[in-house]
Amino acid sequence: DAGVTQSPTHLIKTRGQHVTLRCSPISGHKSVSWYQQVLGQGPQFIFQYYEKEERGRGNFPDRFSARQFPNYSSELNVNALLLGDSALYLCASSLEDRSGYGYTFGSGTRLTVV
Amino acid sequence: ILNVEQSPQSLHVQEGDSTNFTCSFPSSNFYALHWYRWETAKSPEALFVMTLNGDEKKKGRISATLNTKEGYSYLYIKGSQPEDSATYLCAFYHPGSNYKLTFGKGTLLTVNP
């Protein structure tokens, strides 16, 4: 199994631009979650999707949006990028939406906003 | 606001030493506590998912215990090896938390050969 794959691995964008990050979950996993990790902090929850429906949203502005496709892959979109959006964005997949199961994480997308 | 606290923030040990660190979380409305190991330039790897008070889980030289009534979990590493060097994250989940895991800041373990 390929594991959770994220693309791109690194990205540099300019303030005000838009970015799309992509995630493919482990085969058979129906839940995808997105987390933002900045240096010195633990990962912060952005979204969870299960069976193509948004199940949870973290404390992030409306510039952040996401969706899940019929094949359970997911995209995270961020509009009007700010310098503070520079972070590692992690995608995690799990069998179901509740956290009685461990998550499998991808290696992340490192976003730098200049 | 849920607070998950991990201590110490960082730890240096010698190869062969045994070590442990702590995760503190809200004791009310508990559902699950996760432990992850995150090596540099890799993805976080699930170690344990603990759900019952008094749970003890083991994976090789690593083990964890859970006390949901007082809101803490310990992670133990016996006979540390350089390959154990990583950040160890705990994450708390409870119903009504908007389906999110709340992570601590992690404990950075460095094992010197």
Give tens-digit pLDDT for A30-76: 999 999 999 989 999 999 999 999 988 999 999 999 999 999 999 99
Asked if residue B54 has pLDDT above 80, the reply is: yes
Asked if residue A98 has pLDDT above 70, the reply is: no
Based on DSSP, count helices (H) and strands (E) in chain B, helices before strands.
Answer: 0, 11
Burial (0-12, 13-18, 19+ Cβ within 10 Å), B55: middle
Query: Which of the residue ranges A26-35, A72-81, A93-102, B34-43 would you say has the lowest mean pLDDT?
Result: A93-102
- Report pLDDT for B33: 94
Collect all residues with Cβ–Cβ distance below 8 Å to B77 and sequence separation of at least 6: B18, B19, B20, B61, B62, B84, B109
- Report pLDDT for A102: 82
User: Out of A45, A55, A108, whose CB is closest to B43?
Assistant: A108
Q: Is A104 within 8 Å of chain B by CB?
A: yes
Asked if residue A100 has pLDDT above 70, the reply is: no
- Report pLDDT for A1: 58
Asked if residue A104 has pLDDT above 90, the reply is: yes
Rounded average pLDDT over B85-111? 89
Asked if residue B1 has pLDDT above 90, the reply is: no
| Structure token digits, residue A27 | 């085969």
Which A residues 49-88 touch B at CB under 8 Å?
50, 55-58
